[in-house]
């Protein structure tokens, strides 16, 4: 069974390099979806989504650089 878990782990790592980033992106998109009713009246709600995702990406890159 060890070889199967090894294959699954390798397959997952093809799509998800940084688990924190993946989880944070899903949480941010879910939060924006939940707040979409209130954000319909806000001009620039797409900008809020973009800035949040860009901030998560920058933070992930900063943490990765600090590890090296």
Has residue 4 been placed in a domain? no
Q: Which of 51, 8, 53 is nearest to 30 (CA)?
A: 53
Has residue 59 been placed in a domain? yes
The whole-number pLDDT of residue 54 equals: 97
Backbone angles phi, psi at 2, to 5 degrees: -65, -35
Per-residue pLDDT of the chain (68 residues; tens, 9 = 90+): 688 888 888 887 777 777 888 899 999 999 999 988 887 777 888 899 999 999 999 999 998 889 87
Has residue 49 been placed in a domain? yes
Q: What's the pTM value of the predicted model, to 2 decimals? A: 0.74
Structure tokens at 22: 């993946």
Has residue 57 been placed in a domain? yes
The whole-number pLDDT of residue 49 equals: 92
Per the structure, the count of domains in the chain is 1
Has residue 9 been placed in a domain? no
Has residue 37 been placed in a domain? yes
Has residue 7 been placed in a domain? no
Q: How far apart are CA 45 and CA 54, in angstroms?
A: 14
Domain that holds residue 45: 17-67
């Amino acid at each position: 069974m060890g070889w199967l878990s090894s294959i699954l782990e390798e397959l997952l790592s093809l799509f998800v390099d940084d688990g924190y980033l993946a989880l944070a992106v899903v949480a941010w998109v879910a939060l924006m979806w939940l707040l979409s009713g209130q954000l319909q009246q806000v001009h620039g709600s797409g900008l809020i989504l973009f800035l949040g995702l860009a901030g998560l990406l920058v933070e992930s890159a900063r943490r990765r650089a600090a590890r090296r």
